[in-house]
Structure 1
Amino acid sequence: MDGDVRTWMDEGTERLLGALGTLDDSDLRAPSRLPGWSRAHVVSHLHFNAEALRRLADWARTGVENPMYPSAQRRDAEIEEGAGLPPAELRALVRSSAAALARELDDLSDDAWRREVRTRQGAAIPATRLPWMRAVEVAVHAVDLDAGIEFADLPEGLVETLARETLDARLKQGHSPALAAWLTGRSATAPELGPWL
């Protein structure tokens, strides 16, 4: 596992929890930067994402398939249910699941780190990608909380890696012409990229 990535994950978790600590309970019910989601939805998603990644860590550890989510519908329902929890309970859950994920990643053997698991989208990845997946979640959603954190506040290496990976994904989706026009200054309008990541 890349040391920088694990640092991004751990420091990103602390950054996120610090931002969460600046919000009072009524702030959690206010809109986030994500369309249709309150800040509580973002926090709920982060909790259930940690639980999903713990399932993949278990898969890597045991070799027994353990998907991130039983279904897309269940994932969405969990987020909605979590967003409605009392704020103190939601805060405790996101802290405890983040700590549990970190412990379980620490306990993976060399063999487990090499084992392949599957993302929610069905892509086969080595378990070594799990810390990166979590680092991205805590970084991007810290910005989405709209609690004073911007992309400029995130580690430069993380932002550059995320930008490259996101660009690669968008190019594979067929956005090359529109992105090329915008990035070279031939279009003043950023292309419509579809759903947020």
Structure 2
Amino acid sequence: MRVPVTEVIDAHRVLARLVDPLDDEQVRAASALPGWSRGHVLAHLADNARMFARLAEHALRGELVPAYDGGVDERNAIIEAGAGRSAAGHRAELAARNAELESVWARLGDADWGRPVTFRNADIAATVYARWREAWIHMADLDLGVRPEDWPAELACHAIDFLLCRLPAGTGVRAEDVLREWSVGDRTGTVVTGRVRDLAAWMAGRTPATSPVAAEGLPALGPWPPHPPQRRR
């Protein structure tokens, strides 16, 4: 099974270089996410890696465990508790958690990627894609120079696949620079066009370099894909 492990490891390296020069004041500064400092974003990225490593470790033993035993409240508490770390503390925690996750993935054979996990009622492979999204999207949120236009084109295409459910039924999406098209069901409504990274940024609720366009105006975005996933009605 082809999963983007190498691409995620590359993203981890970019993230490490991005946070390497930060001082404590920069970590405490606001991120691009309302209500979150850069420390909140970094704490989330570190704990997200820990969580995915935990799921994979248990899946290798044939065990299903929740992403968080205490649900979203536990997740939020972990982020709040870690947000105030020093810059050095964030670097150390992020490096350790990324290394832990990469180490677990390195032990997986081809058949192991399909082992089920509770995250989105999917499999380990899906968590690799999720980590890829988390790393690049939140690097943009850190507001340290990485922008959606820096995202790999393949990641942008995957993000559009994942986020199509945010668009109304009948909406078409056309990436003019990579000549790819998507649609939500039968294409009967608005067609949104733009460059692939701009489309992905807009659909992810981030600021694109150039806004996508649609003849009828851009449609309103629905909520982020729910966890666990729900069948479209």
Deviations 1:27-77 (A, max 9, x none): 111111111111000000001101110111112210112221111100000
The amino acid of 1:37's aligned partner reads W
Q: Name the CA distance, whole Å, in 2 between partners of 1:68 and 1:195.
A: 18
Q: Does 1:186 align with 2:233?
A: no
The amino acid of 2:7's aligned partner reads W
The amino acid of 1:150's aligned partner reads R
Residue pair 1:55, 1:67 contacting (<8 A) in 2 also: no
The equivalent of 2:145 in structure 1 is: 148
Higher relative contact order (CA 8 A, sep 6+): 1
Residue pair 2:27, 2:86 contacting (<8 A) in 1 also: no
The amino acid of 2:115's aligned partner reads R
Q: Which runs of 5+ in 1 are unaligned?
A: none
What is the CA-CA distance between 1:170 and the residue it aligns to?
A: 1.0
The equivalent of 2:183 in structure 1 is: none
The equivalent of 2:169 in structure 1 is: 176
Residue pair 2:30, 2:37 contacting (<8 A) in 1 also: yes
Q: Name the CA distance, whole Å, in 1 between partners of 2:21 and 2:88.
A: 14
Please list, as runs of the form range in 1=range in 2, the aligned pairs for 1:157-168 lying within 5 A after superposition: 157-167=154-164
Residue pair 1:23, 1:147 contacting (<8 A) in 2 also: no
Query: CA, structure 1 residues 178+146, in 2 after alignment: closer, same or farther (shift >3 Å)?
Result: same
SS in 2 for 1:116: coil
Q: Given the two structures, how large is their TM-score scaled by the length of structure 1?
A: 0.86
Which of the pair is proportionally richer in helix? 1
What percentage of residue pairs aligned between the two structures are identical? 31
What's the Cα RMSD here? 2.2
Which consecutive segments of 4 or more residues in structure 1 shift more than 6 A? Answer: none
The amino acid of 2:81's aligned partner reads E
